[in-house]
Amino acid sequence: MRKVYKSFVVLFFFISANTPAQTIAIGSFSDNYVRSAQLLGKVDSTISFTVRPISVKQLYEKGNTHSLIDSPDSFFHTLPFYFLNKTGKIEVLPFSIVQQFNYHHPYGWNDGAMISSKGYQTLISAGIHVSYGPLEVQIQPEFVYAANPSYESNSIYGIPVSKSFVKLFPGQSSVRLSGGAITAGFSTENLWWGPGRRSSLVMSNNAPGFGHFFFQTRKPVRTLIGNFEWQIIGGNLGSNDNLPYENKNLLPNQLKGKSRYYSGMVISYNPKWVPGLFLGFTRAVQAYSSFINTSSVGTFEKYFPVLALAVQKKNNKGDDTLNRDQLASFFLRWVLPKAHAEFYIEYGYNDYGINIRDYLLGPTHSAAYIVGLKKIVLLRDKEQIEFGAELTQMSQSPDWMVRNAGNWYEHGQIFEGYTNQNQIMGAGAGFGANVLSLDATWIKGPRRLGFVIERVDRDPLDHPVKWVDLGLGVLPQWKHKQFLFSGLFQLINSQNYMWEKGNTPFNVHSKLSIQYYF
C-alpha cells in the first residue's frame, strides 16, 4: 500500500512540476492573442475560452502550440529562478502600469480595480509566481490611484462631491494545488465566464476581483462524449461606502453596504461529434451573510447554494421574500478554424421562472443577451485583419408590460445589487444599457492598429429622454524590446447626457498601458 501511495505522490509531482503555470490576465495582450490564434488553428481547439483566466500550462498540452509560445514575439516568457535542485521555480511576472483619463464624466468598463470616475487614474501591478510540485502560489497585487474630481450630475445620475481614491488590492493573486486536469485553492483573481469579448452577463473583469475558494479544471477533461470545463467558486463580496453604485446610476449610497456571500459556477461542454462547438451554463447566487448564518440554512446550502437551490420557484415559493438573489445564463461558442472565424451567444435571466411552463410562455421575461462574431482575414507578410461585432442587450423586453422584472443587476432582495466594491461584476456598460460595438484591427506580430465604433443606449426603457453615447476610437499597440505599449483614444458624443434633453457634452476616454516583460 505504501508503494502505491509513494507512486501516486511521485506521479502527481511529475504532472505538476517544471512547466510554466501562471495564469493569463483577462483582457491582456496574451489573452486576446491566444484566442485569435485558436481561430487560426494554432491553439488546442478543445479550449473553450469561456472559463477564464486560463493557465499557460493549458497551451503546452498540445505539441503544435510550442511554436506559438516560443516565438520571438511571444509574451508568455518570464524571468525564472530555480531552487531545491530545480524542483521549484520562481517566475517574475510582467510589471504593468495602466493609465486612464476621462475628460467630462465617467466612461469605460472592464478595467478591474479601477473606479468609475472623471479625470486621471492609474493601476500599477507586479508580482511573482512560485511553483513546487503540485503547489502554485501567485502574488500579484494591484495599486489604484484615482483623482476622482467632481463632474456634472443631477438627481438621477452621478455623485455631486468626490474625493481622490487610493487603495491597494490583492489583485491577481492565488494559491492552488493542481494535479492532472483539476486544480483547487483560493484566489482573488478576476474571472470571466461565457463567450463574450466585450461583455459578459454573469462574470467579467469589470469589478475588482474578490477573495474566493475554487474547484475547477485547468484544462479540458476528455470523456467518451466530449470535453468538459468547469469552475465552482464561493466567497465574500464587499462594498465601499465612499463610492457610488454602478447599478444605481452612480448615485451615492443611501445605506451602508453589508457583507454578502457569493456562490457561482460555470460549465462548458464540447461535444465529441461537433468540433469547435462549446455549450455552457452559468449560475450565481448571493445572499447577505446575516441570512446564510441563520439556523434555517443547512451547511451545504450555506456554502454551495448554487448547487443546492432549485431552479424553479414552485420548489422554493418563498425565495422572493429572502435576502438572496441569483442570475443564470446559457451560452454557445462555435469556432470555425477553416474560416478563421467564431460566432457566440449568451442568453441570461436575472430571475428564475415559476416552472417549465413559465419559461416557455415568457422566454424573454427578465432576460438579457449577448451575440457576437469575429473573423480573421490573412494578408501577406504574416499580416492579418480582425473584424468583430458584438451586441449586448440588457434593457427589459416588451414582456415588462405584463410583468416588470426590473433591469439587470438589480433585485429588491439585495440593495447592493450584483456588485463587488460597488462595481457591476457582469457587463459594465451601465445600468440597463444596450451596447453595439464594431471593430477592425490590423495585426502584424505584437504590432496592432485598431478602430472601434460604439453605441451605448443607457437605460432607454425607464426614461422618456434617450441618453445615447456615440464613440469612435483608435487602439494602437507596439513593442520595443521588452516593453509592450498599448493605448485607446476614444471620442464620445453624449447625446442628452443624464437624460436631460439638449445636454450633449463632448467626452474623451483614453487609456495607456505599459508592460515590461522580464
Mean pLDDT, rounded, for 134-154: 96
Report the first-to-last Cα separation within the chain, whole angstroms.
45
Question: Residue 73 pLDDT > 60, yes or no?
Answer: no
Please give the backbone phi and psi of residue 113, each rounded to the nearest 5 degrees, phi first: -75, -10
Overall domain count for the chain? 1
The CA distance from 92 to 130, in Å, is: 9
Per residue in 403-459, pLDDT (tens digit) is 777 778 877 778 888 999 999 999 999 888 999 999 999 999 889 999 999 999 998
Among 26, 429, 470, 34, CA closest to 199 = 429
Mean pLDDT, rounded, for 308-325: 64
Please give the backbone phi and psi of residue 70, each rounded to the nearest 5 degrees, phi first: -95, 10
- Cα separations in angstroms, 201 against 36, 175, 213, 222, 383: 22, 27, 21, 27, 33
- Cα separations in angstroms, 126 against 95, 129, 438, 480, 517: 5, 11, 32, 19, 11
pLDDT of residue 30: 85
pLDDT of residue 425: 96
DSSP symbols for 95-144: EEEEEEEESSS------TT--S-SEEEEEEE--EEEEETTEEEEEB-EEE
List of residues 6+ apart from 440 with CB closer than 8 A: 385, 386, 387, 388, 450, 451
Per residue in 26-58, pLDDT (tens digit) is 988 888 889 999 999 888 889 999 999 988 766
pLDDT of residue 113: 96
Q: What's the CATH code of the domain at 262? A: 2.40.160.130
pLDDT, greater one: 85 or 114: 114
Question: Residue 338 pLDDT > 70, yes or no?
Answer: yes
Cα atoms in the Cβ-side hemisphere of radius 13 Å centred on 374: 24
SS3 content of the chain, % helix, strand, coil (to 5): 15, 45, 40
User: Is there a contact between 329 and 348 (Cβ–Cβ < 8 Å)?
Assistant: yes
Q: In angstroms, what is the C-alpha Rg of the chain?
A: 23
The CA distance from 244 to 435, in Å, is: 22
List of residues 6+ apart from 254 with CB closer than 8 A: none
Joined together, the cell numbers standing for residue 393 give 442587450
- For residue 287, the enclosing domain spans 2-516
Say which residue the cell 492609474 belongs to.
122
Per residue in 478-510, pLDDT (tens digit) is 999 889 999 999 999 999 999 999 999 999 999
pLDDT of residue 312: 57
pLDDT band of 366, cuts 50, 70, 90: confident
User: Is there a contact between 197 and 186 (Cβ–Cβ < 8 Å)?
Assistant: no
Distance of CA 282 to the CA centre of its chain: 13
3-state SS class at 232:
strand
Q: Tell me whether strands 165-169 and 142-146 are parallel, antiparallel or unpaired.
A: antiparallel
Mean pLDDT, rounded, for 121-139: 95
Average pLDDT, the chain: 87
List of residues 6+ apart from 481 with CB closer than 8 A: none
List of residues 6+ apart from 5 with CB closer than 8 A: none
The CA distance from 455 to 190, in Å, is: 26
Which residue type sits at 211?
G
> What secondary structure letter does DSSP report for 422?
T
Question: Residue 1 pLDDT > 60, yes or no?
Answer: no
The CA distance from 54 to 33, in Å, is: 13
The CA distance from 441 to 426, in Å, is: 25
Q: What is the pTM of this model?
A: 0.91
pLDDT band of 319, cuts 50, 70, 90: low
User: Is there a contact between 93 and 140 (Cβ–Cβ < 8 Å)?
Assistant: yes
Joined together, the cell numbers standing for residue 436 give 453595439
Say which residue the cell 417549465 belongs to.
356
